[in-house]
Amino acid sequence: MKQDLIDTMPPVAVSRETEARLEAFLALLLRWNARINLVASSDPAVLRQRHIADSLQLLPLLPEGEGPMADLGSGGGFPGLVLASAVTRPVHLVESDRRKSAFLQAAAAELGLSHVKVHAERIEAVSLPPIAVLTARALAPLEKMLPWAERLLAPEGVALFPKGRNAEAELAAAQPGWTMAVQRFKSMTDPDATILKLSGLRRAGA
């Protein structure tokens, strides 16, 4: 496994249009969160920092171009729907929980994000076009996600996985059986977190 040193994330600026979409998204999230459990906190300041800013920091790491993106286990829309508010490429959100996927569908419609497609099904079964950039936050250990990533990514595709303090342990556990290049980026929103950028993911010996 090729490993690169940690890079520091650049600050993320978004357009006024995206900011307005994110404010509308926040209002919708708070409304739905009163009925279904989408996020633990209902404090707008916490949601802006811990969820919206945390998701937006992936923006500068997206590969160039308009190749499709997929976010696995999107939950309340993090990071997938937040990123979709700032990009024009097709975005697939995969979320098997029916109530959460209904929220994602309603949010995409209300924000006018016609490039978003919500898949209310399990990652293991979902059928997607070859994916240029795959994201997943707080979903599963790397060991479990790599086979999903391998199945869904285009040959030149990259995966962006925000990870907590166990990032290195997860990498070590997942390493046997895979070749890939790994870049690490320090999270701007959580001093203990690292964003892993994986490319060239292949089964060892394949």
Ligand X SMILES: C[S@@+](CC[C@H](N)C(=O)[O-])C[C@H]1O[C@@H](n2cnc3c(N)ncnc32)[C@H](O)[C@@H]1O
Cis bond before residue 79 (omega within 30° of 0): yes
Q: Which of residues 100-119 bind ligand X (CB under 6 A)?
A: 100
For residue 75, give the nearest of 53, 52, 98 by alpha carbon.
Answer: 98
Counting contacts by CB under 6 A, is residue 92 touching ligand X? no
> Closest separation between CB of residue 7 and ligand X, Å?
22
Return the number of the residue (36 or 172) whose C-beta is nearest ligand X: 36
The rounded distance, in Å, linking the Cα atoms of 98 and 114 is 20
The rounded distance, in Å, linking the Cα atoms of 150 and 56 is 24
Is 123 within any annotated ligand binding site?
yes
The per-residue DSSP string of 115-130 comes to TEEEE-S-TTT---PP
Instruction: Identify the residue among 25, 58, 70, 76 touching ligand X (CB under 6 A).
Output: 76
Instruction: Identify the residue among 29, 69, 118, 139 touching ligand X (CB under 6 A).
Output: 139
Instruction: Identify the residue among 18, 57, 74, 187 touching ligand X (CB under 6 A).
Output: 74
Is 202 within any annotated ligand binding site?
no
Instruction: Identify the residue among 78, 103, 161, 178 touching ligand X (CB under 6 A).
Output: 78
Counting contacts by CB under 6 A, is residue 159 touching ligand X? no
Return the number of the residue (96 or 179) whose C-beta is nearest ligand X: 96
8 A C-beta contact, residue 189 and residue 12: no
Classified as helix, coil or strand, 174 is helix
> Closest separation between CB of residue 152 and ligand X, Å?
12
